[in-house]
Amino acid sequence: MQSEIKHFNIRVYALILDGRGKILLSDEFQQNTRMCKFPGGGLQFGEGTLECLHREMMEEFGQDVEILRHYYTTDFYQKALFYEDQQLISIYYLCRFTEVPGFKISAVPFDFETEENGSQSFRWVELSSINIEKDISFPIDQHVARMLARVV
C-alpha cells in the first residue's frame, strides 16, 4: 500500500469566502470525471506555494486574489485518487477577491456547455447547507469543509 508510493503530488487551494457564509467552489470535468473542489491546482517544480496559488487563480479566474493566511496543510496520509504511486498533500489558504469577480459565477452546479476534460464553472455555496460527502468530491477538501463549517 504505502510502500508503492514513489512521489508526492502537492496541491494548493484558495478558500474564498464572501463574508456572508458562502464559499466559492469549482465544478470541473477532469480525468473524465465530474468533481467539485476548491479553486486551485498543482504545484510546479521551482515554484513556491504562494506563487502557485497566484498562477492558478490567473489561470482559472483570469484575475488574482489576495492571500490572507495559511489555513490548513494535510496532516494525514492520503493516496492520490488518479495516480497509483502518489501521495497527495494539499495546502489551503484563506483568500479574498480584491475586485468584483470578472468571471461567470453560476448558481447551477457543473454549468458548462460540454463535459470535456478542462471544463470548469464556479458557484457560491452556503457553507451551512453543504452536504459535504455529497457535494465535495475529495477527502481532504471534505475535511477542510468540515473545519470551515465549524467556524462559520
Instruction: Name the residue ranges covered by the structural domains of the chain.
Output: 2-151
**Average pLDDT across the chain, whole number:** 94
Q: What is the pLDDT of residue 150?
A: 85
How far is residue 138's CA from residue 36's CA, in Å, rounded to a whole number?
Answer: 8
Which residues have a Cβ under 8 Å from the Cβ of 33 and sit 6 or more positions away?
none
Give the distance from CA 142 to its chain's centroid. 10
How far is residue 152's CA from residue 96's CA, in Å, rounded to a whole number?
Answer: 16
Segment 18-30, tens digit of pLDDT: 989 999 999 999 9
Choose which CATH entry (3.30.70.920, 3.40.30.10, 3.30.450.40, 3.90.79.10) describes domain 2-151: 3.90.79.10
What is the arithmetic mean of pLDDT over 123-135? Answer: 93
**Sign of the CA dihedral 135, 141, 143, 147?**
negative
Residue with the bigger pLDDT between 139 and 84: it is: 139
Model confidence at 2: pLDDT above 70? no
Q: What is the percent of the chain where pLDDT is above 90?
A: 88
